[in-house]
Chain A
Amino acid sequence: MLKSKTFVTKTRSGGVMKIVREHYLRDDIWCGSEACTECKQESTVLQKDAIIESNLCVFPHYLLPDTNVVLHQIDVLDNPLIRNVIILQIVLQEVRHRSPPVYKRLKDITHDKDKHVYTFTNEHHRETFIEREPGESANDRNDRAIRVAATWYNQHLKTTELKEDGLKVVLLTNDRANKEKAVEGGLLAYTCEEYVKSLIANPELMDHLALTSKEHNKVGTDKVVFPEHLPLSRIQAGIKSGTFLQGTFRASRDNYLEATVLIQGEGEDSNEVLLKGLPQLNRAVNNDVVAVQLLPRDQWVAPSLVLLQDDGSAKDDDTTEEEEGEKPLKNVGPELARKPTGKVVGIIKRNRRPFCGMLNVSSIKEATRHLFTPADRHVPRIYIETRQAAVLVSQRIMVAIDGWNKYSRYPNGHFVRSLGKAGDKETETEVLLLEHDIPHQAFSQTVLSFLPKMPWTITPEDMAVREDLRQLMVCSVDPPGCTDIDDALHCRELDNGNLEVGVHIADVGHFIRPGNALDIEAGNRGTTVYLCGRRIDMLPELLSSNLCSLRSNVERLSFSCIWEMNHKAEILKTRFTKSVISSKASLTYAEAQMRIDDASMNDGITKSLRGLDKLAKSLKKQRIENGALTLSSVEVRFHMDSETHDPIDLQTKELIETNSMVEEFMVLANISVAQKIYEEFSECSLLRKHAAPPPSNYDILNKAAKSKGLQIHTDSAKALADSLNVATVDGFPYFNTLLRILATRCMMQAVYFCSGMDSDFNHYGLASPIYTHFTSPIRRYSDIIVHRLLAVAIAADGTYPDLVDKHKLSALCNNLNYRHKMAQYAQRASVAFNTQLFFKSRGILKEEGYVLFVRKNAITVLVPKFGLEGTVFFDGKDRSGPKLSFDEEVPALTVDQHIFHMFDKVKVTISVDSGNIQHQKIRMELVEPMIPGVSREIQLASQ
């Protein structure tokens, strides 16, 4: 080991500070090449015969990309064709600093054994370290370091391989000056484009090339569409002085000209800034971190209630560019509704993943430049360059954004990969999963290797540490067709007249040991995702449907929570234990209900069920008295054709009493466990909370109730629950349900959190001061963590470092919350897709529905029969619509003569609009009340 000089850097943190760090240079950093005999390395990464068919480099060679190539052409590097790449440490560091997502991908690539990517620590190598020269910029120094490393490699490989056409290193750089200097220094240097073009055998790689060169940027007109972004230094100075605000950009789903920026304030208060109009949005894409400048107060506007979609789908480039003579900010809105309005002055961090969507092929036949429409409506359309447009047009593809210059209405991007034919069930599901970032690959071999070996039996060692509860009358109650049964119940009378109730949860923690690949994978997936007709498991099938599933008449390990209660359902004693149970029956909700109702049945299970049922009712009463909310949402169930997996019938889910029976005991178990683990681990318990919504959320609910002459109290959960209970309108039985649906939408999301990081534990919806998830470890990772905590608390298992690290737990909570949210969205999207399939086969249906929301130019209608929500627009694109006037206070919309209020009963036709394959949608059109100009055409159609 050679020891060497210190170097000096200056950083800024408030003032100027001089930082002195040591920098050791070594001579034991090896080159990583198989061909090398000089280096004393243990394992090599780079292959000896690194040949790829290229007409520029006919000899074996290694690629050495510079930072910008890695940043912009990561999709090329990611391609399995590109192998034998040397990534320099300096490149890795710069990438890490500039783009975390690319850095993560680069790391994944380096870890892929088949890619043969070697990371060379050039900054600490004795011969490749260079000092920055006076007057040399940091970037120039780094470029030089890259060249020096390339030269070293060339010489190093030459000395080892004495042949003429030995291995060479090819420097990839898109910087012209750098390339020239490299060639001067006797290196082989190409731009990424030149190199990829030279790969004769693989023309499809071209499509992955990101557009960066100048000539592509200036497309069409020289007209400047967007204002220039400010340089980063000015943005930072502006943020510091308070003239600019930093926040996350959220594009509006409903209106492509609008967006909000979420400003993270100090502590709790976070503000929103409204952005309106393309120049104000200034090329920001959903989720970017941007700097915004507030406009003067007199230019503030209100968010428009107009639904506006950017679908000039069939038009070619020029017309879309024309089209953007977008209306100026004319609807200023009433004084009160105006919000702080601003404009984007710069983008601080681009958070852009590849987007799924479809290609709108240019109308010019030979064109290679096409517009791509993402499935996610938050994202603008993207120009891409491809020669395979004809193939791709009917497919769902993924595209990544490369850049967006001020001359172009849309960003430039490149093709990443194709997902399959649009409209196919598989493709659409794939899109859905990708768009919601749901890990859905099959479990890897490493993960599967941690599964228990079959045949699996309960060992005597297990029995020794577990309570034997096999003789108890335990049964499970679940929806029909459920294979991952994670809970079972029992109830029996004790000698002293009290009741013993047990909730038995699958002991997943026994099979998944902390820290192994299986555990990490499950933690990343976070939750099982249920789509219509498909389930994406969190745990491998062997566990989820077999070893952990508490099926009837097999012995299973469980984690039990056992209470002693009196007949009034008051808890006298609580205990937790690891146990072995043998479920006597797996029932469906309906079967369980039948047993309870059938007076002739008097076996143990039925008695147990009756006891549970009685207690559950008392528990529910107590809970509702405490102010728990009963909310409502319409859930639908598809009956699938067993062969084609197409939906053949659609029903709204019905709730039976036994549903709520099981639910009641699960809630109770969760609360008991939450108390126990919090008692033991006040700093690192994983809990779940549900914050009370801010009063403004209830505006819409209040207005709606007022329109029917009712008053809703929203001061507390209890007041809300009570006033919802009495809010009924004679002759309108569905009204209460509608009101509850609205109330549900006012609520906040319940979230997981780590008890050491928060002080408010309240669960608003359940009216419980503390809550967690314990009862579904097969399908939720949070429950596995809670199991582990509880196991430690009762001394049934040991702790491990990450379990008691509140920061790691907090990070885990964030992931779980994200996964849960995404799973929920995916579920909804899946329902929507299947609804479309269903209605497609039905033709046009006429149904009754209720107005749920009134907007400025549309009404949202709920059809209870299908649980379907749709929007009826009154101002069509092609025709001048009827006269509209909108009163926001009521709210009411007057269309010609007719006034629409919330909860009005209407009749609509339902059909599928397949005009746009990308966004096939359910079209609803009004039949009753009859409004000329709106309902007419449909009447013709239905006749």
Chain B
Amino acid sequence: MAGLELLSDQGYRLDGRKASELRKVQARMGVFAQADGSAYIEQGNTKVLAVVYGPHEMRASRGRTLYDRAVINCQYSMATFSTAERKRRPHGDRKSTEMSLHLKQTFEAAVMTQLYPRSQIDIYVKILQSDGGNYSACVNAATLAVIDAGIPMRDYVCACTVGFVDETPLADLSHVEEGGGSSLAMALLPRGGQIALLQMDARLHQDHLETLMEAAMTACKGVSKVLDEVVRQHLQVSVLTGE
């Protein structure tokens, strides 16, 4: 087989998007009542649930208490039914530990932790369906959940993956596209343009890095617009209904 043509000559990708177009993003906040904050997001076929508890006092390991700010505890997991093949996914395997760590770093940069010394904020994210851009969907879902919990942040953290195919940066990669080469994940605080996390495993020539970063920033800003919309809508609804 000739392999897939990720970007056609006419400039369309496999699913009909253009290079810089995002997948359709749909999100809801406050999906669970028992948690302090929760959100559900769909980025194309990637579906993620995020739940936030806290800030509350340190529970498990009191030894890790920080006296000037809150500890952020993240846990990432994938549902057994989240991929095409059903697979048992044990907690704490290398991949999800790494992902948890990345999420932790991202939110430590965004949440104003110094407001809650000696306390802890728990963020749990679960991938319900995976189709590329898992990290970014998790960050976006968690942002909404943190906002839902009413925890102050410097700005939304918006994340997006971008890839590089045929000398063109592609925004918001789907699973097939991720297989096609280098992909870069970026978490951005859009208003100030600060980068909370930047991650790439593949090899890429340094000349291309700048264009790729630029595309990632644009994509993140696109995501932030959608999230902002979701938050405003949610607030309007909850104010109107008096919840």
Contacts and interface: CB of A to CB of B under 8 A. Distances in A.
A883 to B, nearest CB: 56
A213 interface: no
A119 interface: yes
A22 B203 CA distance: 28
Q: Which secondary structure dominates where chain B touches chain A?
A: loop
Nearest to A103: B2
Given A20-B131, A100-B2, A25 B16 contact: yes
A26 B12 CA distance: 11
A92 B21 CA distance: 23
B17 interface: yes
Contacts of B45: 6, 20-22
Contact of A123 (B5, B16, B204, B208): B16
B205 A800 contact: yes
Nearest to B176: A21
Given A1-B21, A17-B84, A124 B12 contact: yes
Most B C-beta atoms less than 10 A away, residue of A22, A110, A799:
A22
A110 B1 CA distance: 23
Contacts of B14: 21
B207 A24 contact: no
Q: Which secondary structure dominates where chain A touches chain B?
A: mixed
A432 B109 CA distance: 68
B8 interface: yes
Interface in B4-29: 5, 8-10, 12, 14-17, 21, 23-24
Contact of B174 (A22, A107, A119, A801): A22
Nearest to A93: B5
A114 interface: no
A653 interface: no
B180 interface: no
Contacts of A24: 15-17
A89 B8 contact: yes
A507 B8 CA distance: 38
Interface string A1-35: 10100100000000001111111111000000000
A31 to B, nearest CB: 13
Contact of A121 (B1, B8, B131, B203): B8
Contact of A804 (B9, B10, B84, B205): B205
Contact of A110 (B9, B23, B44): B9
Given A96-B2, A97-B2, A26 B205 contact: no
B85 interface: yes
Given A6-B45, A25-B16, A805-B205, A20 B10 contact: no
Contacts of B44: 22
B208 A801 contact: yes
Nearest to A100: B2
B164 to A, nearest CB: 10
B1 A97 contact: yes
B17 A119 contact: no
Interface size class of A (residues with CB under 8 A): 20 to 34
Contacts of A100: 2
Nearest to B175: A21
Contacts of B207: 800-801
A6 B44 CA distance: 9
Given A121-B12, A124-B12, A96 B5 contact: yes
B134 to A, nearest CB: 15
Contacts of A23: 15-16
Contact of A18 (B2, B17, B84): B84
Contacts of B84: 17-20
Interface string B44-72: 11000000000000000000000000000
B62 to A, nearest CB: 45
A3 B45 CA distance: 13
Contacts of B9: 107, 110, 119
Interface in A82-141: 89, 92, 96-97, 100, 107, 110, 119, 121, 123-124
Interface string B204-233: 110110000000000000000000000000
A804 B205 CA distance: 8
A801 B205 contact: yes
A6 to B, nearest CB: 7
A838 to B, nearest CB: 47
Contacts of B5: 96
Nearest to B13: A24
Interface of B: 1-2, 5, 8-10, 12, 14-17, 21, 23-24, 44-45, 84-85, 131, 174, 176, 203-205, 207-208
The 5 closest A-B pairs by CB, nearest first: A801-B205, A124-B16, A24-B16, A22-B15, A3-B24
27 contacts: A1-B21, A3-B24, A6-B45, A18-B84, A20-B45, A22-B23, A22-B44, A22-B131, A22-B174, A23-B16, A89-B8, A89-B12, A96-B2, A96-B5, A97-B1, A97-B2, A100-B2, A107-B9, A110-B9, A121-B10, A799-B205, A801-B204, A801-B205, A801-B207, A801-B208, A804-B205, A805-B205
